[in-house]
Amino acid sequence: MKKGIVTKSTGSWYSVKDNETGIIVSCNIRGKLRIQGIRSTNPVAVGDFVEYELQENSENGVIKNILDRKNYIIRKSTNLSKQTHILAANLDQAILMITIAFPETYTIFIDLFLITAEAYRIPAKLIFNKIDLYNQQQKQYLNELIDIYQKAGYECFSVSVKENINVSEITQLLKNKISLLAGNSGVGKSSLINMIDPGIQLKTSEISDYHKSGKHTTTFAEMFELSVGGYVIDTPGIRGFGLHDIHDEELFHFFPEIFKASENCKYHNCTHQHEPGCAVKIAIEKGTVSQLRYENYLNILFDEESKHR
Ligand SMILES: Nc1nc2c(ncn2[C@@H]2O[C@H](COP(=O)(O)OP(=O)(O)O)[C@@H](O)[C@H]2O)c(=O)[nH]1
Ligand SMILES: [Mg+2]
Ligand SMILES: [Zn+2]
């Protein structure tokens, strides 16, 4: 059977890039596909490696089989149906684009993203964009955040897409990988992809347009093939990636540096709040766990809302 990778999905039709010819074949699904125990609204997602057959007298194909997924990210729909939607499969990395200002990305949003990536076991990286715009104070804050997240174990990049500063590092980062690129609307995701691969030409929007551009409209992700090799998925937001399956008692497992420090807590069921002999508290004093990450951990723990964002 022919093999390929799904690069686009509309819900009923899928673009499958053939492994051998590189040609994009429009495929659909007939009957039931064997899928590993996930109930979702879409059986096939971008990033899926599939087997397909060409139909007789047609350029279109039929997907016959989905190869085992290395990982996948689901988005639970916010409505009551509790349906899950597979956003993308087989990701090599999940990258969050952040701006300190214009617009401001809140650190709780960064931490929610990182928790999600940890939960799906997808390596996460952070790109801080628009460094051309920051004043002295904002630059200092930027450096503090980079320090915090690097110490937590995440690779960080600071770039200006507009001024083409350090963009080549991102090209190297994306090369030959399947990457999810997430971030608030307006941080420069589409601009970055256009800069890396001018052949793609995504629409970018002025800051004043944010509120018009319906923040949660795109349900089906599209994957762009980069001319340097690799694919990138530009997602409008990551709301609803959800932390729904994480229990309160294990939330700290998804903060790697807090988890590591907790190995030395006196009580095995320590929640790292007020228990005597809490090693996380000591790590904060020593500076190996940042106060900011710890506060965000507590905020997420106690804020039911944020778990459903
Ligand atoms: N000053 C500055 N503006 C940028 C930079 N990167 C993107 N922008 C602008 O930010 C706005 C939003 O960019 P866009 O790529 O549409 O963001 P997206 O919503 O994340 O895809 C556009 O007006 C871009 O021109 C940057 O590094 N510096
Ligand atoms: Mg965009
Ligand atoms: Zn503790």
Quick check: 79 pLDDT over 60? no
Of 63-67, 75-79, 162-166, 238-242, where does mean pLDDT reach its minimum?
A: 238-242
Residue nearest to atom 13 of ligand 1 (CA): 188
At 37-51, the pLDDT tens digits run: 566 677 889 999 999
pLDDT at 213: 43
Question: Looking at the structure, do residues 279 and 226 belong to the same domain, yes or no?
Answer: no
Residue nearest to atom 6 of ligand 1 (CA): 188
Q: Specify the pairing of strand 61-66 against strand 24-29.
A: parallel
Token reading at 253: 């497992």
Sign of CA dihedral 218, 234, 118, 258: negative
Average confidence (pLDDT) over 283-293: 96
pLDDT at 236: 61
Q: Is residue 77 part of a domain?
A: no
Q: Is residue 159 part of a domain?
A: yes
CA pair distance 231, 152, nearest whole angstrom: 27
Check pocket membership of 236 for ligand 1, CB cut-off 6 A: no
Question: Looking at the structure, do residues 96 and 176 belong to the same domain, yes or no?
Answer: yes
Q: Is residue 82 part of a domain?
A: no
Q: Is residue 162 part of a domain?
A: yes
Q: Is residue 241 part of a domain?
A: no
Q: Is residue 239 part of a domain?
A: no
Quick check: 307 pLDDT over 60? no
Boundary (domain end) residue, out of 192, 208, 234: 234
Under a CB-based contact definition with an 8 Å cutoff, are residues 209 and 178 in contact? no
CA neighbor of 72 nearest in space, from 46, 94, 96, 90? 90
Ligand 1 atom closest to 192 (CA): 15
Percent of the chain with pLDDT over 90: 68
Question: Looking at the structure, do residues 158 and 227 belong to the same domain, yes or no?
Answer: yes
The CATH number of residue 266's host domain is: 1.10.40.50
> Which of residues 80 and 165 earns the better pLDDT score?
165
Mean pLDDT of the chain, nearest integer: 88
pTM to 2 decimals?
Answer: 0.90
Q: Is residue 172 part of a domain?
A: yes
At 22-38, the pLDDT tens digits run: 999 999 988 776 565 56
Of 39-43, 111-115, 246-250, where does mean pLDDT reach its minimum?
A: 39-43
Domain that holds residue 51: 2-69
Question: Looking at the structure, do residues 62 and 125 belong to the same domain, yes or no?
Answer: no
Q: How far is the CA of 49 from the centre of ligand 1 (A)?
A: 32
Check pocket membership of 105 for ligand 1, CB cut-off 6 A: no
The CATH number of residue 223's host domain is: 3.40.50.300
pLDDT at 132: 98
Check pocket membership of 245 for ligand 1, CB cut-off 6 A: no
Boundary (domain end) residue, out of 203, 234, 265: 234
Of 83-92, 239-248, 261-270, 282-291, where does mean pLDDT reach its minimum?
A: 239-248
Question: Looking at the structure, do residues 203 and 146 belong to the same domain, yes or no?
Answer: yes
Question: Looking at the structure, do residues 221 and 191 belong to the same domain, yes or no?
Answer: yes
Q: How far is the CA of 264 from the centre of ligand 1 (A)?
A: 44
Question: Looking at the structure, do residues 32 and 145 belong to the same domain, yes or no?
Answer: no
Question: Looking at the structure, do residues 200 and 141 belong to the same domain, yes or no?
Answer: yes
Ligand 1 atom closest to 161 (CA): 27
**Can you list the alpha helix ranges (DSSP code H) found in 39-135?**
107-119
Question: Looking at the structure, do residues 126 and 216 belong to the same domain, yes or no?
Answer: yes
CA pair distance 132, 187, nearest whole angstrom: 13
Question: Looking at the structure, do residues 98 and 139 belong to the same domain, yes or no?
Answer: yes
Check pocket membership of 218 for ligand 1, CB cut-off 6 A: no
Question: Looking at the structure, do residues 94 and 151 belong to the same domain, yes or no?
Answer: yes
pLDDT at 217: 45
Q: Is residue 255 part of a domain?
A: yes
Q: How many domains does the chain have?
A: 3
Boundary (domain end) residue, out of 207, 234, 261: 234
Q: How far is the CA of 266 from the centre of ligand 3 (A)?
A: 7
Q: Which long-range contacts (CB under 8 A, 24 or more apart) does 205-213 make?
A: 207/102, 207/103, 210/103, 210/185, 210/186, 213/185
Please identify which residue in the block is written with the tokens 């939330």.
251
At 184-217, the pLDDT tens digits run: 889 999 999 999 998 988 888 765 444 444 444 4
Question: Looking at the structure, do residues 209 and 288 belong to the same domain, yes or no?
Answer: no
Under a CB-based contact definition with an 8 Å cutoff, are residues 49 and 5 in contact? yes
Percent of the chain with pLDDT over 70: 84
pLDDT at 87: 84
The CATH number of residue 21's host domain is: 2.40.50.140
